[in-house]
């Protein structure tokens, strides 16, 4: 008989509806029951595309005996991390403090009031000799400790919550801001690059789009790089090597476009196969930006492949985009994406041999059960890769006949806002006005569906339902960034539409400063004042797989002050900048989104007004600028204003583009 989760809007929760576990969704009823029964909470968090979440569910939560232990000793709560990122952030912090590692599935053991005292990630149903306690044994140990050492668990929970709250506050600032910090951060980031395989750090290899974006942006600041010419020579190779590793390697879906979440190996060969909307939005943006700088056709093909995948596989009825594609299909991870040599021979005919050589496919396979995932082992050049365009299209048509991975159709405001910003970057880089129009339509759709009567934004929308949940800081800031990115397209939208998007961004930012701000300290909370009270109210300063709201807010505030000259935006920016100084100098790899905002402020928000001349020649200017079609002036030319000054009128677009390039 299905449990309570059967009525949930969340696909992930419904995936557990037939478990024998007496699951509750998070809410006041479950918390009240735990207090009434004086039982600990077991808060289990995951998401529908997560392979290891499925593994633990099958091994543990579908087992009648294990479920009986859970039901007897705990009030069990299932949480979709995408639906409730606030809970995920809180309990992930706790588990990382306890174990030194994090991930999903995430299992937190809590006092009846929700304060965590222990937790972990994946636990097997039995001892496999890997040093991980089996789930049934852990359940009994925790239950026994709860009965026998309640005071100790109370103290542990209080210590964890106090440490989480302490980390809300930035370290003491002992330095003043200087542009040199931007250069030092770039040097530190480049020093962590894996020069052999691309990417940053060791396996598993995750894409680092915010770091790549920062390095791309600083290449447009020659006045900074002049102080360190060797760094200016190194950064292009770092960026190119990493983009190449991801585009030609196994992170990239060579057949269908788009990217998987991460690769398990240093060489970027074998991924975990879930596809996340946010990863693809952020990677689309950096490939478009990279193409705008060096016109490498592989960057263009990769970006276009992401967009084709979004349109073909991720768009829902409203025109927005679904959240994820599952790693599994037919009960196995990656089975939708892998191939056997005999299949390729049958599908590709005479081209099969060359194709298999290029992708290193053998009868043994590079994955499971003799299957192979596609990553290039041959020459990494666009010409070599493009030679197999027709073959990959043939495989795509064949793949469409396979049972597809499950799609989580929830529409998340923040993730879709990232898509808007990235589509705009691609529209400019590739001169595709249709993508600009799509971006504008999508953002209008999102604001129409997610704007609440109180001026704040909702978080998630399910098909046929009104948007629900109070948006996080990231939801709001990602949406504001999208508004400002759209406002930059004034040359196509017109002055009135551009002004509308600036005003929309201004209104939302004013709401953020009011509803998320901390009157006692720098920074902005992840949840609004109006949000449900949790065990701890967190601030997120570091980037994760997505930009931190506090970091991205720097660029938003700088831009809005430049456009409106309103003092609250400048005051908020300066407070954020001071707070970030210690992290910029000590851990730049964790704050790349903040670095992008600081660099944007250093470079200045530029506006170019065209009087009696066309704006089209400025379409691909390297430095982003607000382009305005002027009127009421008899002279002809381009007027650039940036960094608090306006330059003399230039008669040629080339001249003003040169001015932009040295800002």
Q: Where are the domains of the chain?
A: 4-166, 180-327+408-603, 329-404, 606-661
**How far separated are the first and last CA of the chain, in Å rounded?**
66
For residue 424 the two structure tokens come to: 């705009």
> Which of residues 662 and 106 earns the better pLDDT score?
106
Give the mean pLDDT of 357-379. Answer: 94
Segment 469-494, tens digit of pLDDT? 999 999 999 999 999 999 988 666 77
User: What is the three-class DSSP state of 615?
Assistant: coil
**CA atoms of 267 and 137, how far apart (whole Å):** 37
What are residue 205's DSSP bridge partners? Answer: 263
Segment 405-454, tens digit of pLDDT? 999 999 999 999 999 999 999 999 999 999 999 999 999 999 999 999 99
**CA atoms of 292 and 215, how far apart (whole Å):** 14
Lowest mean pLDDT among 141-145, 338-342, 641-645: 641-645
pTM above 0.85, yes or no: yes
Residue 340 · residue 366 · CB < 8 Å: no
Write the CATH number of the domain with boundaries 180-327+408-603.
1.50.10.10
Predicted pLDDT of residue 131: 83
Whole-angstrom CA distances from 343 to 254, 336, 348, 356, 363 are: 17, 13, 8, 11, 11
Predicted pLDDT of residue 619: 65
Predicted pLDDT of residue 493: 72
DSSP string of 224-252, one letter each residue: HHTT-HHHHHHHHHHHHHHHHHHHHSTTB
The set of residues, in sequence order, having a beta carbon less than 8 Å from that of 115 and lying 6+ positions away, is 157, 158, 160, 161, 535
Give the mean pLDDT of 395-414. Answer: 98
Segment 581-594, tens digit of pLDDT? 999 999 999 999 99
Does 622 have pLDDT greater than 60?
no
Domains 4-166 and 180-327+408-603 share a fold: no
Predicted pLDDT of residue 490: 65
User: pLDDT over 90 for what percent of the chain?
Assistant: 85
Mean pLDDT of the chain: 94
Split at pLDDT 50, 70, 90, the class of 624 is: low
Residue 94 · residue 104 · CB < 8 Å: no
Please check whether the domain covering 4-166 is classified as CATH 3.40.640.10. no
User: What is the three-class DSSP state of 325?
Assistant: strand
């Amino acid at each position: 008989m299905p449990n309570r989760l059967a009525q949930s809007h969340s696909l992930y929760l419904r995936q557990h509806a037939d478990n024998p576990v007496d699951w509750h969704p998070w809410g006041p009823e479950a918390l009240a029951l735990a207090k009434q029964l004086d039982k600990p909470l077991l808060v289990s968090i995951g998401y529908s595309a997560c392979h290891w979440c499925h593994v633990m569910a099958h091994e543990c939560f579908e087992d009648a005996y294990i479920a009986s232990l859970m039901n007897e000793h705990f009030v069990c709560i299932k949480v979709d991390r995408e639906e409730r990122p606030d809970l995920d952030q809180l309990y992930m912090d706790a588990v990382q403090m306890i174990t030194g590692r994090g991930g999903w599935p995430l299992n937190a053991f809590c006092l009846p009031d929700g304060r965590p005292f222990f937790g972990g990630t994946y636990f097997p149903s039995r001892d496999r000799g890997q040093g991980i306690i089996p789930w049934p044994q852990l359940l009994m140990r925790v239950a026994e400790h709860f009965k026998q050492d309640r005071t100790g668990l109370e103290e542990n929970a209080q210590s964890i919550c106090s440490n989480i709250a302490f980390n809300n506050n930035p370290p003491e600032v002992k330095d003043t801001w200087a542009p040199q910090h931007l250069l030092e951060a770039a040097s530190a980031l480049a020093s962590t690059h894996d020069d052999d395989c691309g990417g940053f750090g060791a396996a598993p290899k995750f894409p680092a789009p915010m770091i790549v974006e920062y390095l791309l942006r600083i290449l447009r600041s020659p006045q900074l790089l002049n102080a360190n010419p060797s760094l200016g020579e190194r950064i292009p190779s770092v960026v190119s090597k990493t983009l190449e590793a991801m585009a030609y390697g196994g992170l990239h879906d060579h057949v269908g476009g788009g990217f998987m979440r991460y690769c398990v190996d240093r060489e970027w060969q074998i991924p975990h196969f879930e596809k996340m909307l946010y990863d693809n939005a952020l990677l689309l943006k950096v490939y478009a930006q990279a193409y705008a700088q060096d016109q490498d056709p592989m960057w263009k093909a990769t970006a276009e492949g992401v967009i084709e995948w979004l349109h073909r596989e991720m768009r829902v009825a409203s025109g927005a985009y679904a959240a994820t594609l599952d790693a599994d299909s037919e009960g196995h991870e990656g089975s939708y994406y892998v191939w056997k040599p005999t299949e390729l021979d049958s599908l590709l005919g005479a081209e099969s041999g060359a194709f298999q050589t290029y992708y290193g496919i053998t009868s043994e396979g590079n994955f499971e059960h003799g299957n192979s995932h596609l990553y290039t082992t041959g020459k990494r050049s666009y010409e070599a890769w493009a030679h197999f365009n027709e073959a990959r299209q043939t495989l795509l048509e064949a793949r469409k006949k396979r049972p597809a991975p499950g799609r989580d159709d929830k529409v998340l405001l923040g993730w879709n806002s990232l898509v808007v910003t990235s589509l705009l970057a691609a529209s400019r880089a590739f001169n595709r006005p249709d993508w600009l129009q799509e971006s504008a339509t999508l953002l209008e759709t999102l604001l129409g569906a997610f704007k609440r009567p109180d001026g704040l934004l909702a978080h998630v929308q399910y098909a046929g339902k009104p948007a629900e949940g109070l948006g996080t800081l990231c939801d709001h800031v990602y949406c504001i960034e999208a508004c400002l990115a759209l406002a930059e397209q004034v040359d196509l939208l017109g002055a009135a539409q551009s002004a509308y998007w600036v005003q929309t961004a201004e209104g939302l930012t004013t709401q953020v400063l009011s509803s998320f701000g901390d009157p006692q300290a720098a920074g902005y909370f992840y949840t609004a004042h109006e949000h449900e009270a949790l065990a701890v109210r967190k601030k997120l300063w570091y980037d994760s797989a997505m930009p931190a709201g506090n970091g991205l807010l720097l660029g938003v505030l700088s831009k809005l002050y430049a456009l409106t000259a309103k003092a609250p935006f400048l005051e908020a920016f300066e407070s954020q900048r001071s707070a970030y100084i210690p992290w910029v100098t000590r851990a730049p790899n964790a704050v790349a989104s903040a670095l992008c905002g600081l660099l944007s402020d250093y470079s200045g928000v530029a506006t170019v007004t065209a009087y009696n001349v066309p704006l089209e020649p400025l379409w691909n200017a390297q430095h982003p600028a607000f382009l305005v079609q002027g009127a009421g002036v008899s002279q002809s030319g381009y007027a650039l204003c940036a960094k608090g000054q306006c330059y003399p009128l230039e008669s040629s677009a080339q001249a003003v583009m040169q001015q932009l390039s040295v800002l």
